[in-house]
A and B are shown apart, each in its own frame.
Chain A
Amino acid sequence: MTEASRQWPLWEVFIRSKNGLDHKHCGSVHAPDARMALQNARDVYTRRMEGVSIWVVRADHIVASDPDAKPEMFDPAEDKIYRHPTFYTLPDEVNHM
């Protein structure tokens, strides 16, 4: 095995800062296995009570949308403004609805 391929795999780190909130991506760590990935994520990203829960995911297991496909992926929503509450103008008396 070559020197380069001995590098520990990359894991993406997600942290829930407190119960009631989503896990949020905060960075990545290298680790040989899941247990050490959690350990490293704790040491690197939660030295000041930044989290109550950590998820780690092998970076090569993440499937991401293609940034060049942004128009096809996300533009169609732009011409559906009737999906937003502000599309509807109601009489002043009831407009707080």
Chain B
Amino acid sequence: MYTQAMDIPSPDRDDAVRGGPRSLVDQQRDAAYEAEFDARVARGEFVEAKDWMPEGYRKTLVRQISQHAHSEIVGMLPEGNWITRAPTLKRKAILLAKVQDEGGHGMYLYAAAETLGVARDDLVDALHSGKAKYSSIFNYPTLNWADIGVIGWLVDGAAIMNQIPLCRCSYGPYARAMIRICKEESFHQRQGYDLLLTMMKGTADQRAMVQDAVNRWWWPSLMMFGPHDKDSVHSGDSIRWGIKRISNDDLRQKFVDATVPQARVLGITLPDPDLRFNEERGHWDFGTIDWSEFWHVVNGHGQCNRERLADRVQAWEDGAWVREAALAHAEKQRRRDRLAA
């Protein structure tokens, strides 16, 4: 799950500058290549793995795609927690499929990042050491079953808004992975809404649970689109390079406009007294986002930051013996095959 909120300064960004001093010939060659590259991207052509690309473009993509992959993987945790607590076998099967999809999305994306010449283990290390970011939304807790429905409806809904423009991203391997992911995300959002509709047909307590979950997830969902355009750091290069197509505020507005009627059908209220339709703009106006909360969570002080990372590292370490055993088995088989030959 990618969101433009990840498009903010991070520790792994500062090395996004060129390597050591370059000769004059190299510099001239790079300048010529770069002009040709910019023209290609401006014509809407795709860039493929082995094509020449500016170092900044490559670094930006490695950062964005790997953070996107990390988010898919960490995103398995808040929902995975509920697999054994699903209220029916049907809901359990659906949730299992969804969490498996998140794992799959992480795999597509790590594979896309690796086409840029980075090793998967290095990307995973960057996540585990806290050097690389993942989407802050997963640092909020999933307190009850209604949260699972609201994550599908609002969080995956916001992710879809963020991700659809990436299907037209200039980097071919990323764009292709995104097409596959977007097809699958649609199931995620619909199953969440379906789950909530079912709860709303239940008891007063169940309806209250849905409203409570919406109250907690609404504002964090709006933050997923990232800081306001005037405060957005990476946008310039990303837009010029055809990586980012739509601004944070435009996407957020699109999300609010799409979600308000869905909330009405569901029969819940969105926790924003300033939410009203603006005839003049033809859009829904909404209240002020508490950016101090956003930065608080981004900077590692959300409710679950430490727990999520610790769970992730533990899963990786607990799986080490399996990875090593599989490799040892493969080596043994190869030795046997050689002896038999």
> A residues within 8 Å of B by Cβ?
3-4, 6-8, 10, 26-30, 32-33, 36, 43-45, 47-48, 64, 66-68
Contacts and interface: CB of A to CB of B under 8 A. Distances in A.
Main secondary structure of the interface of B (DSSP, over half): helix
Given A7-B120, A10-B114, A32-B327, A67 B51 contact: yes
Given A64-B50, A67-B51, A8 B111 contact: no
Contacts, number: 55
B107 A29 contact: yes
B189 to A, nearest CB: 16
Contacts of A4: 119, 121-122
Contacts of B177: 27
A88 B158 CA distance: 53
A66 B184 CA distance: 34
Contact of A33 (B51, B104, B333): B333
A44 B52 contact: no
B119 A67 contact: no
B186 to A, nearest CB: 12
B169 to A, nearest CB: 16
Q: Which of A10, A26, A44, A66 has the most CB of B within 10 A?
A: A44
B326 interface: yes
Nearest to B104: A44
A36 B326 contact: yes
A80 to B, nearest CB: 24
B230 interface: no
B329 A32 contact: yes
Given A27-B177, A30-B120, A8 B327 contact: yes
A3 B177 CA distance: 29
Given A3-B121, A32-B329, A33-B333, 10 more contacts: A7-B119, A8-B326, A27-B108, A27-B111, A28-B111, A28-B114, A45-B104, A47-B101, A64-B50, A67-B50
Given A33-B330, A36-B326, A67-B48, A7 B104 contact: no
